Structure 1
Amino acid sequence: MTARTSVKAFLATARTALTAPPSKRQTPLTFVVGNESADLDSLCSAILLAYLRTHSPPHTLHIPLCHIPRDDLSLRPEFTSVLRRAGTSPEDVITLSELPGSESLSPKDTRWLLVDHNALTGQLAQLYGAHVEACIDHHADEGKVPQDSPLRVIEKTGSCASLVVEQCRDAWDALSASSSSSVEEARAVDTSLAYLGLAPILIDTSNLQNADKTTKFDTDAATYLESKLKGGVQQATASSTSGSSGSYERKTFHDEVAHLKEDITSLSLRDILRKDYKEWEDAGVRLGTSSVPQDFAFLAKKAEGESALAEVIHEWAKEKDLGLMTVLTTSSDDGKFKRELLVWAQSDKAVQAAQKFEKRCSEELGLSPWNNGRLDIDEAGRWRRCWTQANLKNSRKQIAPMLREALGA
C-alpha cells in the first residue's frame, strides 16, 4: 500500500523528471497532452489522466503537458480557479516553455498520449508525431493513432474529461482502496481530482443542460465525480449549499467557472483571438480557428468599429501565416444562446475552398448574413463572409472538419 500523492506533489515529481540532466533522466518519458487550443477540457483532462495513469499499474510516470507557452496561462483565469480548487496553481503545471529542445530530449526517447484530440498539430507534430501511442478523444477520428494502440478511445461526448473518467474509474477506485493515507488525506486528493474532472464536464455541457452536447458518458462521469466529493467537501449534490470555502453545489461551481471563462473584457482583441485557437494544414493551406465567448457586436464595439475589427483579424491571420481564418462566436442574448461564424479566405485556393464550404454547408448550419453583410467582401484572392448560425448544435468540433474537407476536395 502506498500513500496518496497530492496533485501539487505529483506535478512537482513530473517536473523533476522532465528537468533532470540528460545523463540522469530516465527514458522514455511519457507525456499526456491536450490539443493546442488548451481549453479547460484539454488542460484538466491531461492532468487528471496523467495522475491516474501514474498511480495505477504499472506505475509509469506520465507527465501532463499544457499545450501552450507559459505566458498564455494568464489568458485562462478559469483554469487558475480550478487549479486552486485542486490544491495547486499555474506555477506548478508544465507548459511548452518547460519542454526541453530536441537536442536535449530526443523524440525517440518520448512517448505521447493525446487527450481531447487524436492527431498532434504544429511543432509538436513535426517533432513527436511518430511517437504517439494512445489517445482519449471526442473529436472526429483523423486516423493518426494506430488502430492496435493499447489505449485508443474516440467517442462522442460533451467533454473529453468524461471519457477520461470512464476509462480510469476502476483504477481510481483501486487506488482509493489500496491507499495507506489517512481518510482525510485520501479524501483531499479525491476532491482535487474530482474538481479537475467536473469543471470541463459542466462547462462543455452547460451544466449538463445542453441536450445537443450532453451524453450518458457526461452524466455518469459527473455523478461519479460528485460521489468522490462527498465526505471531501460538504455534501456534493446538486441541491447542497455552496461557497468558495470548499463546499460544492453544481450550478454555483459551473457559474463561477463559466463567468471566468467568458469574461474577456480585459483582454486585447489579439489575446481574445489567441485564447482558444487551433490550426491545421490541409492541401497546402493553413486553416486557423478562434473560438470566442462573445458575439461580433461585442468585438466590433471593443475594436471601435467593424473595419477596425476586420483589421485585427487580418493581422492575426498574417501573424499565423493563414490562408483561411475562421472566428466562431458563442453568446447569450437575454438568456438565448446564439452562434455566429466568420470565414476569411486570403488566397485563390482558400477562396475556392471557402466558397465550396458555403455552398455545401450553409443550409445544414442555417447560415444567414450577419448585420446585412457588413463584414462581407468578395475580391480577387480575398473572400470573407460573416454569418449568424441558426443550427446551434454545430461548434468548431463539426465546422472545422467541414472546412478541412472543402480544402481537400
Structure 2
Amino acid sequence: MPPRTSLKTFLSTARAALTAPSSKRASPLTFVVGNESADLDSLCSALLLAYFRTYSPLTKRASSGNNDRVDIANTLHIPICHLQRADLALRPEFAAVLRDADVKGEDVFTLEDVLGGSNNDKKHSIRPEDTRWLLVDHNAMTGALGKVFGSRVFGCVDHHADEDVVPRDAEIRVIEKSGSCMSLVVERYADSWEVVLGSSNANNSSSLLRGNGKGDQGTTTTTMSESSSEIDAQLARLALAPILIDTTNLGDKNKTTAHDERAVSLAEGKLAAHLEEKKDDGEGGGGGGGEKYDRNNFFKRIMDLKENIADMSFRDVFRKDYKEWWIEGAAQDLGLGTSSVPRGFDYLVDTKSSGDAAVFVDALEDWGEEKDERGKMDLVVVLTGFQDGDGEFRRELLVWARSEAGVRAAKLFEEKWADKLGLETWRDGVLDLKGDDGWRRCWAQRAVEHSRKQIAPMLRDALKEIAGGG
C-alpha cells in the first residue's frame, strides 16, 4: 500500500493554492472553518474535515434531516483557524496536538490568510465570489468572516442548536447532537478513512492542484519515511484530543453520545494498528513518534495544557474561548459576549486576583469596554467548567448586564431559566451587583449538563424578546 498524504503535506499543498497569484489561482477556492471561539474542537475539526473532503473521492448522502443531496468531496479544501495568528499562542493544547501530527503553528491558516493584514498585498486578496465555505462546529457564519463571506456558505457539520441559516437543501447539512463536533466528522468519513485514504491519495496533492488550477504551484510530496499507519496515528491523535476534552474522557454522561464513543473506538483502532507495527514502548502520553497510547494519560496531558491559565492576563483568559452574537433591534443592535473559562471563580478570585474580587471585576469591566467597539455589549457573560478537588465536574455562570436593555434581558433570563439551570448564588453574592450602578449575578450552576451550547441561545432569546419590544 503506498503511503498516504500527511497532514503537513496537505497543508503545504493548500498554502501553495492559496498564495498563488490571482491569475493562476484555482477558482473558486473551498474553505473549511470552525466557530469564532476557536476552541480545540473547532480548530481540529476544521483541519480533519478539510483533509478528509480533499482526499476522499467517495460520495455519501447527508446523515441527518431530510436532506438527500450527494456530498461531493475530492476537491481541495483549505482549513482556516478562526482566530488571528497571534492568538495561537493562547492555545498550548492546540500546539501540542499539532506537534503530535508533525505540524507547526506556522503551517496552519488563520484569519489574516483570507481577510488580509498589514503583510498582505492586494495581489493575494480574495474576492468573496471566488470562494466557497463549509462550516464546522457552527451553522451560522459570524464575525468578520460572516460580514465578508457569509453569502458563500454551502454547508455545515455541527452539533449546536440549528440557527436555520444554512438551507435545508445545502450540499452538506449535518446537525446532530454529540459531545464533540469532531465525532461527527470522524463518523461521516469513517469509510473514507478505512478504505479510500489508505490506497489512493499518495500522489493526490499535485493532481489536486493541476485539476483545479492554472499553472505549476510547487507542491511537496509525502516522505517515504512516513508510513500509512504513522499518518493514521497522527490523524487519530488530532481526532481524539477534542473528543476526549469535550466529553471529559468519555466520562461526562450528559455530553457523551454514541457518536463520540464510536469515533474514539475508530481512532484508537488506528493508533493500536500503528503501535503494533512499531512495537514501541513509551510513557503512555500518546504523543507523536510512536509512543505507547494510554487514553487517561493522553487526556490528562491535553487537559492540563488547556486548563493552565496561570501566566495569562485576564484579558487573555476572557478572549481565549470567546464568542459573541448581535441581536437586531428596532433602535439598535443588542450585543451578547460570552467567555468560556476552564477554571472556577474560586481560582479566578482567590488565586489569580490574590483574594481581591475587585481585581477580577475591574478586569472584566475593562474587557466589556474593549468589546464595545461595534456597539454597547449589553451582556458580558463568563461560563466556567472545571473539575473540583474531588474530581467532580462543576459549572458556574456570571451574567453582567451593562445597559437598560441588558438588565431587562438578564432578569428575563433569570426568571425563565434559573430553576432549570439550578442557579445558586456564588459565595454569598460577593461578585453580584445591584442598584443604580448596574446588574450582575454570579451563580454556581448545578445542572452541569447545560454548557454554552444551551445557555447562549437562552440569553439570545431573552435579548430578542427585549429587542422586539417584549
TM-score of the superposition, structure 2-length normalised? 0.83
Q: How many percent of aligned residue pairs carry the same amino acid?
A: 53
2:392 aligned partner: 336
Q: Give the distance between the partners of 2:172 and 2:9, measured in 1 at CA.
A: 26
1:327 corresponds in structure 2 to 382
Structure 1 residues 29 and 381: CA distance shift in structure 2, 3 A: farther
- 1:248 corresponds to which of 265, 273, 293: 293
- The equivalent of 1:111 in structure 2 is 132
Q: Deviations over 1:328-361 (max 9, x none)?
A: 0122222222111100011111111001000001
Taking a change above 3 Å as real, the CA distance of residues 126 and 300 of structure 1, as seen in their structure-2 partners, is same
Q: Higher relative contact order at CA 8 Å, sep ≥6: structure 1 or structure 2? A: 2
Instruction: Tell me by how many angstroms 1:101 deviates.
Output: 3.9
Contact 2:322–2:338 (CA under 8 A) maintained in structure 1? yes
Which residue of 1 is the match for residue 349 of structure 2? 300
Query: Residues of 2 paired with 1:215 and 1:95: CA distance?
Result: 31
> Is the partner of 1:379 in helix, strand or coil?
coil
302, 318, 324: which one aligns with 1:279: 324
How many angstroms apart in 2 are the aligned matches of 1:125 and 1:2?
Answer: 40
Question: One-letter code of the match for 1:325?
Answer: V
User: C-alpha deviations, 1:268-317, integer Å up to 9, x for none?
Assistant: 11100111111111131110100111111211231241112111101111
Corresponding residue for residue 192 of structure 1:
234
Q: Does 1:25 align with 2:25?
A: yes
Residues 1:281 and 1:235: Cα distance change in structure 2 (over 3 Å): farther
Does 1:350 find its partner at 2:406?
yes
SS of the residue aligned with 2:227? helix
Give SS of 2:189's match: helix
Q: Distance in 2 between matches of 1:180 and 1:280?
A: 40
Tell me which moved more, 182-191 or 30-39: 182-191
Could you tell me which amino acid in structure 2 is paired with residue 294 of structure 1? R
Q: Select the residue among 93, 97, 103 that pairs with 1:88.
A: 103
Residue 97 of structure 1 deviates from its aligned partner by 2.0
Partner Cα distance (2:39, 2:150) in 1: 21
Deviations 1:39-82 (A, max 9, x none): 11000000000001000125210000000001000011001111
Mapped contact 2:2–2:228 kept (Cα < 8 A)? no
Matches within 5 A, 1:147-226: 147-179=168-200, 185-226=227-268
Q: 2:334 touches 2:463 (CA, 8 Å); kept in 1?
A: yes
Gaps of 5+ in 1: none
Question: In the alignment, which residue of structure 2 is the partner of 1:13?
Answer: 13
Distance in 2 (alpha carbons) for counterparts of 1:155 and 1:320 = 32
CA–CA distance in structure 1, aligned partners of residues 318 and 201 of structure 2: 47
* Kept in 1: contact 2:342–2:384 (CA 8 A): yes
Moved more, 99-108 or 198-207: 99-108
Letter of the aligned partner of 1:42 in structure 2? S
8 Å CA contact 1:53, 1:59 repeated in 2: yes
CA distance in structure 1 between the aligned counterparts of 2:201 and 2:131, rounded to whole angstroms: 32
Distance in 2 of aligned mates of 1:224 and 1:96: 32
- What displacement does 1:100 show? 4.3
SS at match of 2:161: coil
Distance across 2 between alignment mates of 1:255 and 1:339: 19
User: Aligned AA for 1:83?
Assistant: L
Q: Tell me if the contact between 2:55 and 2:197 (Cα under 8 Å) persists in the aligned partners.
A: no
Q: Select between 180-189 and 158-167 the one with higher mean Cα deviation.
A: 180-189
Q: What amino acid does structure 2 have at the position aligned with 1:232? A: H
TM-score (norm 1): 0.95
Q: Secondary structure at the match of 1:377?
A: coil
Alignment partner of 2:274: what SS? coil
Tell me if the contact between 1:324 and 1:344 (Cα under 8 Å) persists in the aligned partners: yes
Structure 2: distance between partners of 1:206 and 1:256: 13
Give the Cα–Cα distance (whole angstroms) in 2 for the partners of residues 65 and 235 of structure 1: 33
Deviation at 1:22, TM superposition (A): 1.3
Q: Give the ranges of 4+ consecutive aligned residues of structure 1 lying more than 6 Å apart after TM superposition.
A: none
From the CA coordinates, give the structure whose radius of gyration is larger.
Answer: 2
**Of residues 144, 158, 165 in structure 2, which corresponds to 1:144?**
165
For 2:75 and 2:199, locate their aligned partners in 1 and report how far apart those are by CA, in whole Å.
17
Distance in 1 between residues matched to 2:326 and 2:93, nearest whole Å: 29
| Shift in alpha-carbon separation, 1:384–1:234, aligned structure 2, 3 A | farther
CA contact 1:38–1:276 (8 Å) conserved in 2: yes
Q: CA RMSD in A?
A: 2.0
How many residue pairs get matched?
406
What is the DSSP-based 3-state SS (H/G/I as helix, E as strand, rest coil) of the residue aligned with 1:294? coil
Q: Tell me the SS of whatever aligns to 2:384.
A: strand
Choose which of 349, 364, 373 in structure 2 pairs with 1:313.
364
2:427 alignment partner AA = N
Matches of 2:232 and 2:225, distance apart in 1: 10
- Among 133, 138, 149, the residue aligned to 1:128: 149
Unpaired segments of 5 or more residues in structure 2? 58-72, 203-223, 466-470
C-alpha deviation, 1:179, in angstroms: 3.6
SS at 1:314 equivalent? helix
Letter in 2 for 1:259: D
CA contact (8 A) 2:139 2:158 kept: yes
Change over 3 Å in CA distance of 1:399–1:131 after alignment to 2:
same
